Chains A and B, each alone.
Chain A
Amino acid sequence: MSAAEKYVAAAYLVVFAFVVVYLAIMALKLTRLEREVGELSELARRRADG
């Protein structure tokens, strides 16, 4: 692999890594939101039951 090939691969890997990291952050956030919705739904159910 020539030096130019290595640098081109690095440039594309940086962009790919960004997309992967961004998706991972969004997945973590969605998991947290799902958990919070579950907690609030449980809280509302308990309120409704009295």
Chain B
Amino acid sequence: MLCAAIALIFFYAPVDADQGLSQKIFYFHVPIALTSYACFGWGAWKALLVLWKRKPGADLESYVAIHQGVIFGALTLITGSIWAKISWGVWWTWSERQLVLFLVLFLFYSAYFMLRFSVEPGPQRENLSAVYALFGVVLIPISFLAIRLAESFIHPTVFTSRGPQMATSQFATFCVAFAAMILLAGTLYRVELVGKRLDAHLRELRELLA
């Protein structure tokens, strides 16, 4: 799916008349950012299940989702900075609310790991991590809407209340890239989760056999 997305980006979607070739970064940058939001949202949902239903395994699922979200968040910041360098001539600007809020969201969830690993494994760690993950989810709509609420900005707004501001071929390419990114995140989430579960089972087995 990723290969199909890359093929569409470079051979099907037209070069943007306004931004030129640098607009090609949009097809990966925005899906990565949206995937990052989705991962944080999924992590918060699992955290809610920890606190609400005491669902076994939800804590690990929340942790893995947030881990994925932080990785995709880092990629968002890197690809965004590269795009900013071409379009604005700078790697970063503190005057953009969208950028700063995304950085705050990223740093907030990065601190999740410090909190999690500073507490001994057990119900206390599960509760603290879950509450922290739920607090962070508030930042997602703020970060997403910041660009739309900003009065003066230079960060482009593609998705407005009037629909996507791009050609049909560009939008179709974007949808494929977004689906590919969600699929990639979902696959990595499953692989990491299975690995961590296997690790826990093996540790238990080792203790039983010791």
Contacts and interface: CB of A to CB of B under 8 A. Distances in A.
Given A4-B20, A30-B195, A14 B75 contact: yes
Contacts of B25: 7-8, 11
Contacts of A14: 75, 78-79, 82
B79 A15 contact: yes
Nearest to B23: A8
A28 to B, nearest CB: 10
B14 to A, nearest CB: 15
Nearest to A19: B184
Given A26-B191, A33-B202, A44 B209 contact: yes
A15 B75 contact: yes
Contact of B209 (A11, A22, A33, A43): A43
A19 B79 CA distance: 14
Interface in B156-210: 184, 188, 191-192, 195, 198-199, 202, 205-206, 209
Chain B contact patch, size range: 20 to 34
A18 B188 CA distance: 12
Contacts of B6: 12
Contact of B24 (A2, A8, A29): A8
Contacts of A15: 28, 32, 75, 79
Tell me the dominant secondary structure on chain B's binding face. Answer: helix
B22 interface: yes
Interface in A1-50: 2-5, 7-8, 10-12, 14-15, 18-19, 22, 26, 29-30, 33, 36-37, 40, 43-44, 47
A23 to B, nearest CB: 9
A18 B6 CA distance: 16
Interface string B1-34: 0100010000000000000111011001100100
B83 interface: yes
Closest 9 CB pairs of A and B: A11-B82, A4-B21, A11-B79, A11-B25, A7-B86, A43-B209, A7-B82, A8-B24, A4-B22
